[in-house]
Structure 1
C-alpha cells in the first residue's frame, strides 16, 4: 500500500503471517520482499513519470542485508535516471529504522 502521498515513493508491506519464509525466526520470505520492492518500483514509475502503460521489467537486482522480521516493512523508491525508453529505479527497504535497511534493489524498466 502507499504510505503517504503517492508521489513520495513510500510504500508499506503490512505484517502478515503468510509472508513468513522462516517461522522459527520469524523472518519474511525473500521472494515476498523482492516482489514487494519490484511492485513498489513499478507503481512509483506509474505515479511519477509520464508513462502510457505498465512499465515492463528488464532487470531487477536485490541485495539482502539483514533478515526481515515479522513486522511492517517500508520501501522508498527513487527514479535515478529516465531516458526515452528505459528508467532506472533504486529501492531501499527497512523496518524499524530507515538508517538500517534490510534490502536494497536496483530495477531497470522499459517504458512506453
Structure 2
C-alpha cells in the first residue's frame, strides 16, 4: 500500500506545481458565469478530483494502519479540502496570491509529512 500512496503523493506534488504555475501565469479573473470556461474546467479537473479522492482513501487507510504516523486523520481531510480549493482557485482566480500560497504550502507540508513516514 505504501508504494502506491508514495506514487500518488509524487503525482499530486507535480500536479500542485502545475496548478501553481497556472495560477501565477493568469493575470485576469475568470468570469464565473462563462459556460465554456465551466465546461473546460470540469473536463480538465475531473481527473484531479479523482486523484484527490484516491489519494485520500489510500492515505486514510495508511494512517489508520500506522498509528505512529506523523499525520492525523483530520489533517488528511483538511488537506483534501485545501487541494480541491487549489484546483478551483487555479482556474477561477478569485483569491489573493498570499491565500493561494498558504493553501499550496499547507498541502505540500502534509504530503511531505506522509513521505517522511516512508523514510
TM-score for the superposition, normalised by structure 1: 0.29
Taking structure 2 as the reference length, what is the TM-score of the superposition?
Answer: 0.27
Greater relative CO (CA pairs within 8 A, separation 6+): 2
